[in-house]
Every structure is written in C-alpha cells, then in structure tokens.
Structure 1
Amino acid sequence: MRKPPNDTVADLAADAPTPSADTAEGPIRRCILSGERDERTHLIRLAISPDGVVAPDVRAKAPGRGAWIGVDRTGLEEAIVKGKLKGALARAFKTGPITIPDDLPQAIEEALTRALLDRLGLEARSGTLLTGSDRIAETARRGKVMMLLHASDAAADGNGKLDQAWRVGNETEGSGERGIVLPVDRTRLSVALGRDNAVHVALTDHRAAARIDQFLGRLLHFKGEGAEPAPGMTI
C-alpha cells in the first residue's frame, strides 16, 4: 500500500475518492484505520444497515455509502477493542449510533473465504480449472499450469509431487517453488467446485489465475498470512 502524506479526517470519509486518485488499475480508496491508500480491490468494504449495524461488504455491492479497511484481522480486533473502529466509522458515516457486532472479524474472514470459493466455482464451470492429481501433474509438466493450489488437509507427499511437476514445467527446478495451501479443506473445496474429493486445483489460464490471486491474496492478507504468488502473479 502507498501511504499518503498528511491525510485529514475528510480524506478518510467513506467511499469518496480523492481527486485524481484513481489509476489505470482501479479506483483508489483509503483505509479509515491506517490512512493508507490502495486500490479498492485490495481493501475490504464495510457497510452499515439503516439501524446502524456494521457488516462486511467484501463484494462492494451493498447500496449506500461504505467505509474501507486494509488492516489484517489482528489490527481490526485491536481497533475494535480500543474503540478506534467505532470512532472512524462515526466520522465516515456521520449517522446515528453505530453497532459493531462482536463477530465482525470472523464474519469478514468467512465472507472473504466464500468469495474465493465462489470465484473458484466459476472458474471450474468455465473450464479454466483442473482437479485430479494425475491430470494436474501431466499438465504442470507441460508448463501449462499458471497457479497451483492445495486443500488445507492435503497430504504433504501429494503436495510435494505436484509442486515438483510444476517446477519442472516452469523450468525452476531447485527453486523450492510450490503451490499455495488454501485456508479451506477438501470437503469445502469439493462442494465449491461441484466435484468429488477435490484436493488439488490447477488454474490453466493466466487471467483466471490473476482473478484467483486477487481473491486469495485479500483473504490471506486479512488472516495475516503470507503466500508466494504464482509466476507472473502479485499478491
């Protein structure tokens, strides 16, 4: 994220962008807690109901004004405990009393996870996603896998074999490059993809991999976890 100099409270208000703040990559917003500025696709939007209850709007679809945060879950929890989030939201929305649910951090994490799984499901239906160790290994060795993902409960030896096939196809043997372990298990992954026992996932289209990279990167950032991006990707 880029940190702007001397932000004011007005600068941090809800959805209002700064003049000339938008870029070719997308609209720029400021985190109401840190003041840091980034593309809105990298941030998390919070919406407020008519009765003042705050809720995550990770798809940025809810009507009305919203406020954006870019901190991780630990930072958010600290801001809630110290009252900083409530104060920032009051300044951003300028409405009546605001209620922050106790489970807001967990609700955000779950919403980000659902958004990632929904995106993976769409890629599966569009034909840009492979499952099955043998199919993935063969495709990876031919250099046709753009992103490699493993369920959280996948066996280490299975991950290792596919990681090795991926390195062979990418001509990066000896680099230690490996697929990303998802923060969801095979059961939930299988349901999302509509396939039986989906343990490993490969994206075979660069644009599809970039889309998943965005959803996954936002989730992992909120969870406070790092991940090595796929070749050509930036999380």
Structure 2
Amino acid sequence: MTERKCILTGDRADPDTLIRLAVGPEGQVLPDIRAKAPGRGAWIGVTRAELETALARGKLKGALARSFKDGALQIPESLPALVEDGLRKALLDRLGLEARASMLLTGSEKIDVACRKGQVQLLLHAVDAAADGNRKLDQAFRVGRDAEGTDLAGITLPVDRDALSMAMGRDNVVHIAVTDSRAASRLRAAIGRLESYLGCANGAPVHGEHDSADAPGVPD
C-alpha cells in the first residue's frame, strides 16, 4: 500500500504529502517529518489551523488514542509549531543539499541570464525579497520559458533571506534559480508540504477512493 489515511479526516493521500506522527519511548507524540522513526505512526493531512483546532477540542487526542489504542499519550501543546518547524527545516535542508550538488544559482544577475536562456526550471524568492526584484526576475523567467503574457512567476517561499543564506552557506541569498528538473521536482514537493500545512498551497493533495483494506486511523 502506497497511500495512508489522515486520522482526522479519513482522506487518503500519498504519504509524501502527509505528516507522520510517532510516539516516543515516554509516550510523547512528536512529528516524524521524514517518516523514518521506528515503531508505529499515524498520519495527518490538515493545515496548521485545523490541527490547532483538533488539538484544542480533543479531537486529535481521540484520533490518536484510537489509532494507537493508548489513551495515555502525551501530546504537547506546541505540536502544531513543531510540525511547522520540522517542515521548514526539511525544505531548508533540501535547498542545502541541492546547493552542494550545484543544482542551484544565486545572485540576481546570474539568475536573470539563466532565466532568459531558458535554463531555469524553478524560480524561488525569499519572503522578504523586494517586489521590484521579484518582478524583474519573473519577467526574465517568462521570457526564457516562452510564456510572456501569462502569470508564470517564481514561488515566494515562507522563508526569509537569513534562513536561506544559512541553509545554503552563502551570503545574502534572496533569489534562487533551480537549473535541474529533478532538483526542481524535489524542491516542489518540500515546498508543497510546507505551504499545504500553512494553508497557502497552490493546490490541495489529490485523495484516492476509499479502500476498505486500509481503514481510517490504522497506524503503520
């Protein structure tokens, strides 16, 4: 089975678009962003606001108790923030890996040239980038992609330039151009998970039909 069900909604989705919750040795429930922690896990596919509501109303506790058949789980009040921090770290880690593999370009002038030559697969902007700088590079991106007159543009990340610079080990990273298609796909996935959780994604994950062999709330 390659899909999992959200214990809060019952919707099915690829696990890459969901968030796994795992139980630690002391019974504490923590996010397992990379889905690699040992033992059983439960999956959620909701926004941070929805998770906060479910936590406050006891719905999350009930869903986890049913999934793990354990009513004594410890759910930290900071769980929604921990999930966001984990997703943001996963994105920054991915950017760092792609940078070290020479899949990215930084610097407005270099990015502008690469965009106009059609070499850029994905264009990214820091959340605190200047609007004028974004517009110029977005236009160059459209030129290179033969998409003038469309709304094609770079993605504004929910991450500021300081965090990008630290992740990539470079000074003043404001804009990023991704020149490799596989790297672009990996980054889109990481960005999509964070944006979906923050409630600002371009599109929601597509859920499959109900499969009675994988009942809602069954941990992996």
Distance between the aligned counterparts of 1:64 and 1:160, measured in 2? 48
Consecutive unaligned residues of structure 2, counting only runs of 5 or more, are: 207-220
- Structure 1 counterpart of 2:27: 52
Query: Are residue 42 (structure 1) and residue 24 (structure 2) matched?
Result: no
| Pairing 1:29–2:4 present | yes
Output one character per residue of 1:87-121: Cα deviation in whole Å (capped at 9) or x when no partner.
Answer: 11011111350111111001100000000000000
* Structure 1 segment 12-161 matched on structure 2, within 5 A: 22=1, 27-161=2-136
1:187 to 155, 162, 165: 162
Question: What is the alpha-carbon root mean square deviation over aligned residues?
Answer: 1.2
- Alpha-carbon deviations, 1:143-201, whole Å to 9, x = none? 11000000011000000000000000011111121101111110110000011110000
> What's the offset of the Cα at 1:49?
1.1
CA distance in 2 between counterparts of 1:64 and 1:70 reads 20
Count of residues in Structure 1 that have an aligned counterpart in Structure 2 = 204
Runs of 4+ in 1 over 2 A off after TM superposition: none
1:163 equivalent in alignment to 2:135: no
Alpha-carbon shift at residue 51 of structure 1 (Å): 1.6
Q: Does the CA contact (< 8 Å) of 1:186 and 1:198 recur in 2?
A: yes
Cα contact 1:180–1:227 (8 A) shared by 2: no
Work out the CA distance in 1 between the residues paired with 2:141 and 2:168: 22
From 139, 145, 150, the equivalent of 1:175 is 150
Match of 1:217 among 188, 192, 205: 192
Counterpart of 2:21 in 1: which secondary structure? strand
TM-score, normalising length: structure 1? 0.85
In structure 1, stretches of 5+ residues that fail to align are 1-21, 229-233
